[in-house]
Amino acid sequence: MRLTKLGHACVRLERGGTTVVIDPGMFTEPDAFAGADAVLITHEHFDHFAEERLRAALAADPALRVWTNGAVAAKLDGVAQRVSVVGEGDAFEVGGIGVTVHGEWHAVIHPEIPRVGNIGFVLDGRVFHPGDALTVPPHPVDTLLLPIAGPWNKLGELIDYVREVGPRRALAIHEAVLSEVGQAISARLLGEGGPGTGAEFARLAAGEQLDLG
């Protein structure tokens, strides 16, 4: 399986001729959908779900399908037949890539800010994209896509989260709100300069690829 970082929270995963794109939002290049067989969307926030871009991609490719939660699906009227609503505990397959769904709610930003639904996706039993939550999947994963910056998290919690999930590697996502200095500080504390998480930590630039084996 090959992973390509597409900016912020978006990644492309390819295996055996099947391409899955997760969370192509407004901080992602418009061509993020190119070649995709499926789009998975964790929640409705604009940095994960760009409605007009997704509608354009669906119009351009009649075979493209979407899996997401109910709130996002409700915004995609007119293409509902190509959108599957999934939630905690569900499982499905895209071109031989198995996907399981975990989590229900976005992390708390502030008690007075209403929470939205959020689901995470485990692909092929080994790569987990949690969206905007620190959901712990029911079994260890090889690669955790780790949201390192947002109005709802802090580094100390991320260190403990990686330890709890127990992946072999953690790859940074959700970093568009950080400067290069901020990203470097986060990388140091989540990597060899911090207290230790038990996982290798890495950052990928937009467009950079990694062979997951």
Going residue by residue through the chain, which has 213 residues, state the pLDDT in tens, using 9 for 90 and above: 999 999 999 999 999 999 999 999 999 988 899 999 999 999 999 999 999 999 999 999 999 999 999 999 999 999 999 999 999 999 999 999 999 999 999 999 999 999 999 999 999 999 999 999 999 999 999 999 999 999 999 999 999 999 999 999 999 999 999 999 999 999 999 999 999 999 999 999 999 999 998
Residue pair 27/5 in contact by the 8 Å Cβ criterion: no
Give the whole-angstrom CA distance, residue 203 versus residue 102.
24
Q: What is this structure's pTM?
A: 0.97
Residues 6+ apart with CB under 8 A from 96: 15, 16, 18
* CATH architecture of the domain covering 2-205: 4-Layer Sandwich (3.60)
Q: What is the DSSP letter of 133?
A: S
Residues paired with residue 52 on neighbouring β-strands, in sequence order: none
Q: What one-letter code names the amino acid at 26?
A: M
Alpha helices in the chain (DSSP H): 51-60, 70-74, 155-165, 180-190
What are the counts of helices (DSSP H) followed by strands (DSSP E) for the chain? Answer: 4, 14
What count of other Cβ atoms lies within 10 Å of the Cβ of residue 51?
13
Determine the Cα–Cα distance for residues 191 and 41; give it in Å rounded to an integer: 28
- What residues does each domain of the chain span? 2-205
Check residue 10 and give its pLDDT.
98
Q: How far is CA 85 from CA 60, 70, 80, 124, 181, in A?
A: 22, 6, 10, 19, 39
Q: What pLDDT is recorded for position 69?
A: 98
Strand boundaries in the chain, DSSP class E:
2-5, 11-15, 18-22, 38-40, 65-68, 83-85, 91-94, 97-102, 120-123, 127-129, 143-147, 169-173, 200-202, 209-211
Instruction: Provide, for the chain, the percentages of residues in helix, strand and coil under a 3-state DSSP scheme, each rounded to the nearest 5.
Output: 20, 30, 50
Distance CA(22)–CA(32), nearest Å, equals 9
In this structure, are residues 138 and 24 in contact, taking their beta carbons and an 8 Å threshold? no
